[in-house]
């Protein structure tokens, strides 16, 4: 990525800022990451939705289907109804879920992928990378959480926010930024930083709207104060003008009376 040294400082500054408020970040619930298949499913449903929504969706899937094998053989419509028609990217997610689970089933004659942890990290990563329906985000999430290897999940929403905040080069494509993040964020801190960055990006729109609303309210307040000052000045001017007018009327009246008296004489 161009100017990577400059953007590395900006990334570090953002992470340092987020770390001060890390207790407010939405953590990834460990119960959604108990086994390999769960991590794959969670990767699918969290790519387009906020982490909090994905965790609710995960619980919904587990309550609607006996197990992931039933999920695998279910009709797309049933999965969409379970997730909710308005769930972000629901049709894309449903297609990927079915492809991934079916590919795992064919390769392992079931959905038990525990044998991956007995392989070398490179070998196991290569297996996951070749799964039908896998995406860079799902792959990185799996490598980081299940294989405990160095990776950093990035989705389009995160990329957009990082570009807007000038934390990464706006002209760099997804792969460039993804590679930059993986180089800059050490393996030992990847889960912690992912949780903070993901939470920051998940709530970026709401935070930006709140900030904009607050700024708008401040502008309104300033305008109201200015309007009151202008109104007060106008009132004072009117009173001054009225006093001047009244004084002129009195003066004119006195002159008229004086003229009449002079004329009578």
For the segment 168-219, what is each residue's pLDDT rounded down to a tens digit? 999 999 999 999 999 999 999 999 999 999 999 999 875 444 433 444 455 4
User: For residue 215, what pLDDT is reported?
Assistant: 47
Give pLDDT tens digits for 47-67.
Answer: 999 999 999 999 999 999 999
Q: What is the pLDDT of residues 6-63, one digit of tens each?
A: 999 999 999 999 988 766 666 677 777 888 999 999 999 999 999 999 999 999 999 9
Q: Note the helical H segments in the chain.
A: 4-19, 36-46, 51-64, 68-73, 76-83, 90-108, 121-129, 136-145, 156-164, 174-184, 190-202, 204-264
Question: Once rounded to an integer, what is the mean pLDDT over residues 221-230?
Answer: 60
pLDDT at 265 over 60: no
Q: pLDDT at residue 161 above 80?
A: yes
């Amino acid at each position: 990525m161009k100017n990577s040294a400059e953007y590395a400082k900006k990334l570090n500054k953002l992470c340092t800022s987020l770390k001060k408020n890390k207790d407010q970040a939405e953590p990834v619930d460990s119960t959604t990451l108990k086994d390999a298949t769960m991590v794959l499913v969670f990767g699918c449903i969290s790519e387009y939705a906020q982490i909090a929504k994905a965790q609710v969706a995960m619980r919904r899937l587990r309550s609607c289907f006996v197990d992931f094998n039933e999920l695998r053989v279910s009709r797309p419509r049933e999965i969409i109804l379970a997730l909710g028609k308005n769930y972000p990217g629901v049709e894309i997610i449903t297609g990927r879920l079915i492809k991934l689970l079916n590919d795992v089933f064919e390769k392992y004659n079931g959905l038990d992928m525990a044998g991956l942890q007995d392989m070398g990290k490179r070998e196991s990563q290569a297996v996951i990378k070749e799964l039908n329906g896998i995406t860079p985000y799902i792959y990185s999430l799996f490598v980081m959480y299940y294989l405990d290897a160095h990776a950093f999940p990035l989705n389009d929403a995160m990329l957009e926010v990082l570009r807007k905040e000038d934390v990464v080069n706006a002209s760099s494509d997804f792969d460039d930024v993804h590679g930059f993040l993986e180089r800059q964020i050490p393996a030992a801190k990847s889960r912690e930083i992912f949780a903070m960055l993901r939470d920051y990006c998940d709530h970026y729109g709401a935070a930006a709207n709140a900030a904009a609303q607050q700024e708008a309210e401040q502008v309104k307040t300033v305008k109201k104060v200015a309007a009151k000052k202008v109104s007060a000045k106008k009132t004072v001017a009117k009173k001054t003008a009225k006093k001047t007018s009244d004084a002129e009327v009195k003066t004119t009246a006195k002159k008229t009376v004086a003229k009449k008296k002079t004329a009578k004489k």
